[in-house]
Amino acid sequence: MKVVQPNSGQGLSQLSDKLSKYCQPRSGRAVWELSVTGLPFLACWLTALIGVAWVHWLFALLSIPAAAFLVRLFMIQHDCGHGSFFRQRRLNDTVGRIIGVLTWTPYAYWRRLHARHHATSGNLDMRGKGDIDTLTVSEYRNLSAWGRMLYRLYRNPLVLFGLGPAYMFLLKQRMPIELLRDVKDGWISVMATNAAIVGLVVVASVIAGPGAFAAVQVPTTLCAATIGVWLFYVQHQFQETQWDGHDDWDFHRQAIEGSSFYDLPAPLRWLTANIGIHHIHHLRSRIPSYRLHECLKDFPELRTVNRLTLWQSLRCASLALWDDSERKLLSFRAIRKGPTLIQE
């Protein structure tokens, strides 16, 4: 992956200003995007549920396309949280809360935590706020043997993309752990979502039976959660990403240098609602997902900034430690063998 920065004659602040014209949502397009995502999801999910209950268990395979559309629904919820999907704030919040029941993600609670992520992404002194836990090489070397083992276990792909998503979406988000003192966006958001989820589980279990519901819902939720965590991971956990201490941290620079352009094939780009165009999203989070590709067309220089293909992204799974001297994210193997073997 080659890192190319935008034209040096065009400051990032000026670029942000130029992108502001894309921040205007389009109501008709928003309704269309919601329809072609929500209706296929419901069709796959309901057909799977009814099919497993009354026809054959093979209908549970429809959980796979249901999970794909659920990922796209989460991206719409993500847009709503930024206030960018619809023109009206109330409509964004209403749709976001409804989708939150399907994604098992309390809308207002997640919105607050995600805002922290955007405000602190790439800041070494503000880690742990809506991001993947990442240590520097020196911090890792200063850990005890037990601490190193725990960190290596946490960064193991089987944990990070297997157990991690299940824990996040099934357990962690059932309590406002990170907003315990906030009544509205913490307790009310989480508990109201939990109550709605319980209602959905009860109704679906009564209609199709608890076994059929579990056979459809569990793989749908876990598959979508794993895809979602992977997408979030590669958006910032790539070798040429950037981290800085608070004194050197700059919002505009980190948005571009610390976020990837995950250049996916067209079908996957559609299913992930252009979230791979993450450098532009971080620079201007109020741009609706359905207008991000328009930005790439109008600013072709951004197509080569931190571009990451699907094949290249697989190598990111082994990265785990930020090296201040090399200004790169490295694997455990790279730091063990020394800087001479680090792949450029």
CA–CA separation, 100 vs 115, rounded Å? 17
Beta bridge partners of 321: 135, 330
Q: For residues 34 and 42, give the distance between their C-alpha atoms in angstroms, rounded to a whole number.
A: 12
- Predicted local confidence at residue 341, as pLDDT: 41
Q: Is the pLDDT of residue 3 over 80?
A: no
Domain spans in the chain, listed from the N-terminal domain onward = 12-135+159-315
**CA dihedral (206, 67, 131, 113) positive or negative:** negative
Q: What is the mean pLDDT of the chain?
A: 93
What is the model's pTM?
0.92
Kindly report, residue by residue over 236-246, the tens digit of the pLDDT: 999 999 999 99
Q: What is the total residue count of the chain?
A: 344
Geometric angle at alpha carbon 120, from 129 and 299, rounded to 5°: 130
- CB 302 within 8 Å of CB 6: yes
| Predicted pLDDT at 339 | 53
Between 9 and 52, the more confident residue is 52
Distance CA(290)–CA(29), nearest Å, equals 8
Torsions phi, psi of 309, nearest 5? -85, 170
Measure Cα distances from 222 to 65, 138, 195, 303 in Å: 13, 35, 20, 32
- CA 199, 202, 206, 211 torsion-angle sign: positive
At 264-291, the pLDDT tens digits run: 999 999 999 999 999 999 999 999 999 9
Per-residue pLDDT band at 6 (split at 50, 70, 90): low
Tokens of 9: 């004659």
Q: How far is the C-alpha of 139 from the C-alpha of 156, rounded, in Å?
A: 18
Cα 186 → chain centroid: 20
Whether 108 contacts 79, CB under 8 Å: no
* Other C-beta atoms lying within 10 Å of the C-beta of residue 342: 16
The first and second tokens of residue 226, run together, are 């794993």
Mean pLDDT of 138-158: 96
**Averaged pLDDT, 165-188:** 95
Q: What distance in Å separates the CA atoms of residue 235 and residue 213, rounded to the nearest whole number?
A: 33
Which one, of 262, 277, 252, 257, lies nearest residue 307 by Cα? 262
pLDDT at 252 over 70: yes
DSSP 152-187: HHHTSHHIIIIIHHHIIIIIGGGS-GGGTT-IIIII
pLDDT value at 85 more than 70 = yes
Cβ within 8 Å of residue 339, ≥6 positions away: 325, 326
pLDDT band at 336 (very low <50, low <70, confident <90, very high): confident
Instruction: Provide the 3-class DSSP secondary structure of residue 259.
Output: coil
| Percent of the chain with pLDDT strictly greater than 90 | 90
